[in-house]
Chain A
Amino acid sequence: MRNLYSKLGINVSASRAEIERAISSCPNASVREHAKEILLVEHRRIEYDRLNSLLMFIGQLRAGLGISHAENWDEKIADQYTRFHPLGSQRRRFYEKVNMLNNQIRQQHAKAREYANSQEQPEHGCLGNIIVIGVIVAVMFIYNENKKNDYTAPVTSWTSENGASTREADVDIYQGSSQRALDEGAAVRIPPKPIFNHPPQATPPNGEVYWYVRGAAEAPFEIRTEGSSDYYVKLKDANSKRDILGIFIRGGERVEIEVPLGNYSLTYASGNVWYGLEHYFGPDGSYNKANTVLSFDKIPINNGYQFRGHTIQLYRVRGGNLSTSTIPADAF
Chain B
Amino acid sequence: MIMSEEKFSEFETLMLRSGSDIATSIFLILAWISASDGSIDEDEINAISEIAQEAEYSGDINALVKLAKKRDIVAIQLASEILKAQLKEKKEIALFLLMCIRIAVADGRLLASENHILKFLADLLELTKMEFEHLFKEATGRRIPHPQDLSDADYWKAHDNARHGYRAENKSNRSSKYSRYYAILGLEDGAAKEDIKMAYRRLAQVHHPDRFASLGKEAMAASTKNFQKIKEAYEYLMKHA
**A contacts, CB < 8 Å to B:** 1-4, 33-34, 37-38, 41, 43-44, 47-48, 50-52, 54-55, 57-58, 60-62, 64-65, 67, 70-73, 77, 87, 89-91, 93-94, 97-98, 100-101, 104-105, 108, 138-139, 142, 146, 148-149, 151, 154, 156-157, 160-161, 167, 169-180, 182-183, 186-191, 228, 272, 284
Contacts and interface: CB of A to CB of B under 8 A. Distances in A.
Contacts of B119: 72-73
Interface in B101-144: 112-113, 116-117, 119-120, 122-124, 126-132, 134-135
B216 interface: yes
A142 to B, nearest CB: 6
Nearest to B18: A188
A175 B90 contact: yes
10 contacts: A1-B150, A37-B156, A54-B116, A61-B80, A65-B80, A65-B124, A71-B123, A91-B78, A142-B1, A178-B89
Contacts of A101: 2, 4
Given A4-B151, A38-B156, A186 B88 contact: no
Contact of B217 (A77, A108, A167, A188): A188
A142 B214 CA distance: 33
A77 B146 CA distance: 12
B73 A173 contact: no
Contacts of B120: 58, 61-62, 67, 72-73
Interface in B187-218: 211, 214-218
A189 B12 contact: no
B73 A50 contact: no
Interface size class on chain B is 35 or more
B12 A94 contact: yes
Nearest to A92: B81
A104 to B, nearest CB: 6
Nearest to A54: B113
B204 to A, nearest CB: 15
A228 B90 contact: no
Contacts of A33: 153
Given A65-B77, A169-B131, 13 more contacts: A1-B112, A34-B153, A44-B150, A44-B156, A52-B151, A71-B122, A146-B16, A148-B19, A174-B91, A179-B89, A188-B20, A189-B22, A272-B81
Nearest to B90: A173
A151 B81 CA distance: 14
B82 A71 contact: no
B74 interface: yes
A-B pairs, 7 with minimum CB distance: A187-B56, A37-B153, A90-B78, A70-B123, A72-B119, A91-B81, A178-B214
A149 B19 contact: yes
Given A73-B119, A91-B78, A174 B4 contact: no
A218 B1 CA distance: 55
B150 A188 contact: no
Contacts of A54: 36, 113, 116-117
A38 B80 contact: no
B34 to A, nearest CB: 13
Given A37-B156, A44-B156, A61-B73, A173 B81 contact: no
Contact of A142 (B2, B3, B122, B127): B2
Nearest to B167: A43
B85 interface: yes
B94 interface: yes
A156 B86 contact: yes
B151 A2 contact: yes
A174 B20 contact: no
A87 B77 contact: yes
Contact of B85 (A51, A156, A178, A182): A156
